[in-house]
């Protein structure tokens, strides 16, 4: 009878030793070549942006009043959209992760739909829902005199529509990975579900909430299609940085490149902030 080896697969080697040949070794050509092409495809546009940047005129481009106006508006609206997403998105994520009800899968699919929906279609849908003649917008206009399209508030609404799903998906995943025994222990001590959420669950999932908020903020900052469709492009009121880049590209490509570099720097800052969560601190 064959004696049983100390490791379950019969190799007689520790798991780390068995897997070492698949970590850090030389990649086969069949995988290395397409990987290198993919890397070149992703990095080439960014490198071209840096090469063609008007570095000498960059200070003049970035200190113009129009640039700072668009940047300030973008930062304000993205921050407000993120705050709205936190207020409503975290409870929605908790509902999807911690409760069971008929149609939950359908609801989850509808919540994540804006992730794959073309932004322009989202803007059209917002117009049909919240425009002056929209399903809800007509009532808002007649009852409260509230008009959202082509206003700064409309920018916040459009950015929230496309950004909130990022927060919901991230927080829901964090909630599903969290250990529910802590909440159950709080319940045995007499805490209500709301108290357990505030005192136990929320501190426990705080890193996931922060990551979702950063993703939502970055998505809101870069939003273009829904914003221009629902809110238009009026300088100082609805013209955010992505819209400024698009308009500048038609008349002043150097200014468009300079604005693009600002958004690129913001994106890199967001990536650096999330490196511990998604890249293991390898950056």
The total of structural domains in the chain comes to 1
Please check whether residue 68 lies inside any domain of the structure: yes
What pLDDT, on a 0 to 100 scale, did the predictor assign at position 283?
46
Please check whether residue 178 lies inside any domain of the structure: yes
The span from the CA of 132 to the CA of 7, in Å, is 70
Q: For residue 238, what are the domain limits?
A: 58-117+147-278
- Residues 6 or more apart in contact with residue 109 via CB below 8 angstroms: none
The span from the CA of 87 to the CA of 92, in Å, is 9
What pLDDT, on a 0 to 100 scale, did the predictor assign at position 89?
95
> What are the pLDDT digits (tens) for 153-185?
999 999 999 999 999 999 999 999 888 888 888
Please check whether residue 208 lies inside any domain of the structure: yes
Q: How many CB atoms lie within 10 A of CB 49?
A: 13
Please check whether residue 133 lies inside any domain of the structure: no
What pLDDT, on a 0 to 100 scale, did the predictor assign at position 12?
53
What is the residue whose two structure tokens read 């100390």? 6
Please check whether residue 76 lies inside any domain of the structure: yes
What is the residue whose two structure tokens read 């070149």? 40
What pLDDT, on a 0 to 100 scale, did the predictor assign at position 78?
94
Please check whether residue 272 lies inside any domain of the structure: yes
CATH code, domain with 95: 1.10.3720.10
The string of DSSP letters for the chain reads -PPPPSSTTSS-S-HHHHHGGGSSSPPPHHHHHHHHHHHHHHHHHHHHHHHT--TTTHHHHHTSHHHHHHHHHHHHHHHHHHHHHHHHHHHHHHHHHH---TTHHHHHHHHHHHHHS-HHHHHHHHHHHHSTTSTTHHHHHHHH----TTSHHHHHHHHHHHHHHHHHHHHHHHHHHS-THHHHHHHHTT--HHHHIIIIIHHHTHHHHHHHHHHHHHHHHT--HHHHHHT---TTTT--HHHHHHHHHHH-HHHHHHHHHHHHHHHHHHHHHTHHHHSTT--
Q: How many CB atoms lie within 10 A of CB 30?
A: 8
Query: Can you give the pLDDT of all 283 residues of the chain as single tens digits?
Result: 455 545 445 555 555 555 556 566 777 888 889 999 999 999 999 999 888 888 888 887 777 787 888 889 999 999 999 999 999 999 999 999 988 889 889 999 999 999 999 999 999 999 999 998 899 999 988 888 889 999 999 999 999 999 999 999 999 999 998 888 888 888 888 888 888 888 888 889 998 999 899 999 999 999 999 999 999 989 889 999 999 988 888 888 888 888 888 888 888 887 777 665 554 444 4
Burial class of residue 195 (count of CB atoms within 10 Å of its CB; 0-12, 13-18, 19+): middle
């Amino acid at each position: 009878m064959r004696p049983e080896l100390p490791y379950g697969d019969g190799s007689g080697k520790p798991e780390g030793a068995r897997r070492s040949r698949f970590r850090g070794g030389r990649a086969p050509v069949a995988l290395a070549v397409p990987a290198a092409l993919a890397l070149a495809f992703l990095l080439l546009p960014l490198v071209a942006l840096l090469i063609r940047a008007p570095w000498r005129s960059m200070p003049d481009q970035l200190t113009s009043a129009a640039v700072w106006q668009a940047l300030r508006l973008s930062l304000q609206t993205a921050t407000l959209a993120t705050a709205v997403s936190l207020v409503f998105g975290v409870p929605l994520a908790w509902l999807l992760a911690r409760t069971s009800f008929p149609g939950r899968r359908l609801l989850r699919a509808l919540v994540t739909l804006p992730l794959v929906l073309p932004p322009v279609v989202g803007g059209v849908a917002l117009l049909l829902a919240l425009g002056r003649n929209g399903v809800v917008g007509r009532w808002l206009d007649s009852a409260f005199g509230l008009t959202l399209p082509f206003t700064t508030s409309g920018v916040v609404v459009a950015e929230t529509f496309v950004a909130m799903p990022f927060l919901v998906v991230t927080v829901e995943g964090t909630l599903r990975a969290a250990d529910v025994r802590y909440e159950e222990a709080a319940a045995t001590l007499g805490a209500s579900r709301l108290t357990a959420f505030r005192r136990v669950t929320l501190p426990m999932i705080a890193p996931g909430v922060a990551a979702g908020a950063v993703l939502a903020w970055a998505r809101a900052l870069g939003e273009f299609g829904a914003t221009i469709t629902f809110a238009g492009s009026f300088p100082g009121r609805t013209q955010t940085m992505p819209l400024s880049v698009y308009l500048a590209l038609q008349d002043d490509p150097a200014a468009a490149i300079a604005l693009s570099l600002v958004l690129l720097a913001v994106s890199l800052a967001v990536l650096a902030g999330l490196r511990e969560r998604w890249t293991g601190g390898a950056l």
